[in-house]
Amino acid sequence: MRTTSEINQSPLDIIRQNKEIERRANFIKAIFLDIFFVFYSVIVVQRAIYYKFILDLRDIPFSWGSILLVFVIPAVVSVCWTFTRTSISCKLFGIAKDNKVTKWTVEIFGWFLLNITFIAGWIITKLSIVDLFSSEGLQGAERLFSSLFRPEFGIFDDALFAMIETIYIALLATLISIPITLLLSFFTARNLMKSNKITFVIYYVLRVFLNFIRSIEPLIWAIIFSVWVGIGPFAGMIALLVHTIASNAKLYSEAIEGIEEGPVEAITATGANKVQVVWYAVVPQIVLPFLSFTIYRWDINVRMATIIGLVGGGGIGTMLMQYQGLARWHEVGLIVLMIALVVWVMDYVSAKIREAIY
């Protein structure tokens, strides 16, 4: 709703105000981004390059001096830097002064960031060509591979049953997720929720909540639920269900955000209410993408279900874990073969179904 004061303002004032607000917002963003950049470079140089590589320390020593160095000084320096309007973030947000200093700082600091990131990455991942091609290592790999390629068919029945369990875990997680995801997706679609403050708050809270859930991997969810409901297929199914809901709600709501606005406009213009607009102008446009996402998700879930089994989510993964623990590589070979086969078939079938739908 517009306030009366806003209506009485002259149009030019509003334009000027909007520009001013945008400029200020960009400046605040630039401050935070600069703090992050400087902070990042100090942390990387001090912790990864100096302590871990040059001094080769195992534990990082604690001292107030280093806290000051790492947290306070970068913050102060970067804020000062932003205020001079020559920083890299000012350049990114388009509010930098257009002079030589800006050009130099941006170039030098940009190179610096790129290089320390690469060096730190090298140190942290312990990149080592020697380990990859040591004769001892190669022998171990050869032993393992030769067992894997001679699978033990004695456990075929057990493995088949476990595989079926895995497929059903994935199927049920996908099916149960559909109605819940459908409902959520309408509440997390920006174009449907932005018109009104209350709905926008709901949209925002739901988005943050779902992002949080999605950012936790199904593997972690499986660990949580295997404590909650006990180790087994049920824990695996719920873990997949939770993650499926969170990620499909995002895909679905993005499909809703990507619909053609025209029909929505047309139905709104007839005086239809919100529910009618969604049902007549939005739903017909999203049925196919929804179906396609869901089928694809089933395919993903079958693959995930095998992984989840490794931490006690039931199915073929749990079986794989057991034989791997006993170092019985011929049995492991059979299980891996079956997983590969099922994943390949699922991939093919789901691709064919999705093709047929469109």
User: Rule CB under 8 A: which residues touch another protein?
Assistant: 1-2, 7-8, 11, 14-15, 18-19, 260, 262-263, 265-273, 275-276, 279-281, 284-285, 287
As measured in angstroms, the least distance from the Cβ of 281 to another protein is: 6
**Distance in angstroms (rounded) separating the CA atoms of residues 324 and 316:** 12
Q: Which long-range contacts (CB under 8 A, 24 or more apart) does 77-80 make?
A: 77/38, 78/31, 78/34, 78/35, 78/37, 78/38, 78/39, 79/31, 79/34, 79/35
Q: Are 75 and 8 in contact (CB under 8 A)?
A: no
Shortest Å distance, C-beta 180 to another protein: 20
133 versus 358: smaller Cβ distance to another protein: 358
Q: Which is nearer to another protein, 155 or 291 (CB)?
A: 291
Taking the complex as a whole, how short is the minimal distance between the CB of residue 274 and another protein, in angstroms? 9
Contact 89, 33 (CB under 8 A): yes
- Cβ proximity to another protein: between 162 and 281 the closer is 281
Q: Which of 61/271 has CB closer to another protein?
A: 271
Least Å distance, CB 31 to another protein, is 24
| Rounded (10°) CA dihedral 309, 313, 315, 316 | 10
Nearer to another protein, 7 or 198 (CB): 7
Cβ nearer to another protein, comparing 15 with 351: 15
Angle of the 73-83 helix axis to the 11-43 helix axis, nearest 10? 140
Helix/strand number for the chain, H first, E second: 18, 0
CA atoms of 174 and 163, how far apart (whole Å): 17
DSSP state of 278: I
- Nearest distance in Å: CB 98, another protein: 22
**Least distance in Å: CB of 248 to another protein?**
22
Would you give the DSSP letter of residue 356? H
